[in-house]
Amino acid sequence: MTLKTEPVTINIGPQHPSTHGVFRMRVTFDGEVVVDVEPVLGYLHRGSEKLAEERTYTQVVTLTDRLDYVASMSNNLAYVLTVEKLAGIKPPDRAMYLRVIAAELMRIASHLVFTGFWLNDLGALATPLMYCFREREKILDLFEMLCGARITLSYMRPGGVFQDAPEDFWPALHRFLEEMPNYIDEYEGLITGNEIVLVRAKNVGILSAEKAVNSSISGPILRASGVEWDLRKADPYEIYDRVKFNIPFGGVGDNFDRYFVRVQEMRESLKIIEQCVEQVEPGPVRSEVPFLVRPPKGEAYGRVEAPKGELGFYLVSDGGIAPYRCKIRSPSFINLTILRDILVGWKLADMIVTFGTIDINMGEVDR
């Protein structure tokens, strides 16, 4: 017997925990099957790009912390690289090594947040999340040693970093590098071969390489679809051309690949940090930069491989102490454009799991 059904439209969010922030999806269902999805943005609008025009180039660093607030160091780095490009500032070697160490620790912390919350979306409640937060806390301890803060860090500056790493930072970092591979093994033992994860994630929410490229997708989502593109290798910045690491990528572009690529990226980040620790030498951590930076008239675009994809800043200078214009290319915003393509045809429960693999942060979407 065939039941007659009619499409029904349901609002999911902005208060729903699985919308990963104040984000709303207007979803049309036929029974439990998704037939249409419309993302609704703007609930967290902060006006960061406009606020930047009223602050000095150094003061804008604090605004970048509030974009992807679980990846503040990466936001700092993208912005200061753009200011340095605009003003012709060259940071010292030690500063670049410290910035890369901080950025790679931030990548691991961001991927830990993704892993924990994605397992939460799968129905595992709080246990995996607490496991992931356990190691993230160790990274936040390291950040606290560097700059005194844990979330909104403001560690980097045009020309270098706020201050050098204290002596107790290096032993703590060494302990973390020794312990973390075992913890990643533990995550994989719990998750990668778990039959519930495999059933819910394998061949679900597939994004083809062609669609990913045509949609300007970047980061782990792009690499999960089989595209070996990483700005750290394709367009090296800082000291990434001095370290060796692999680019993890998938072959299907499904939910599982998007999870697995992030886990492997954590391993590669550890390798990068180890090489930085071996190579870094004593020296200054900041160039001689005026208190008020005044880049010449012009424009610049700087970008980094942030945990969620390509994060870029476009700055225009009129010769003053504040940016004349600031425009942010945020990966979370761009990555949301594939939402309809990977959700239509799947069921409600699949929608929650698939949406979690996009790993958005509304702070940089509603910027």
The single-letter DSSP state of residue 115 is H
* pLDDT tens string 273-326: 999 999 999 999 999 999 999 999 999 999 999 999 999 999 999 999 999 999
Paired strand residues for 298: 317
- The pLDDT, as a whole number, for residue 44 is 85
Statement: residue 231 has pLDDT above 70: yes
What's the rounded mean pLDDT across residues 165-172? Answer: 96
- The pLDDT, as a whole number, for residue 367 is 86
What's the rounded mean pLDDT across residues 337-350? Answer: 94
* pLDDT tens string 60-113: 999 999 999 999 999 999 999 999 999 999 999 999 999 999 999 999 999 999
* pLDDT tens string 232-259: 999 999 999 999 999 999 999 999 999 9
Distance CA 35, CA 8 (A): 10
* Domain 8-365 part of CATH 3.10.20.600: no
Statement: residue 5 has pLDDT above 80: no
The distance in angstroms from the start CA to the end CA of the chain is 51
* pLDDT tens string 137-167: 999 999 999 999 999 999 999 999 999 999 9
Asked whether the beta carbons of 126 and 120 are under 8 A apart, the reply is yes
Q: What is the pTM of this model?
A: 0.95
Asked whether the beta carbons of 66 and 46 are under 8 A apart, the reply is yes
Statement: residue 1 has pLDDT above 70: no
* pLDDT tens string 184-222: 999 999 999 999 999 999 999 999 999 999 999 999 999
Distance CA 114, CA 131 (A): 12
Q: How many CA atoms lie within 13 A of 108 on its CB side?
A: 30
Paired strand residues for 347: 33
- The pLDDT, as a whole number, for residue 173 is 98
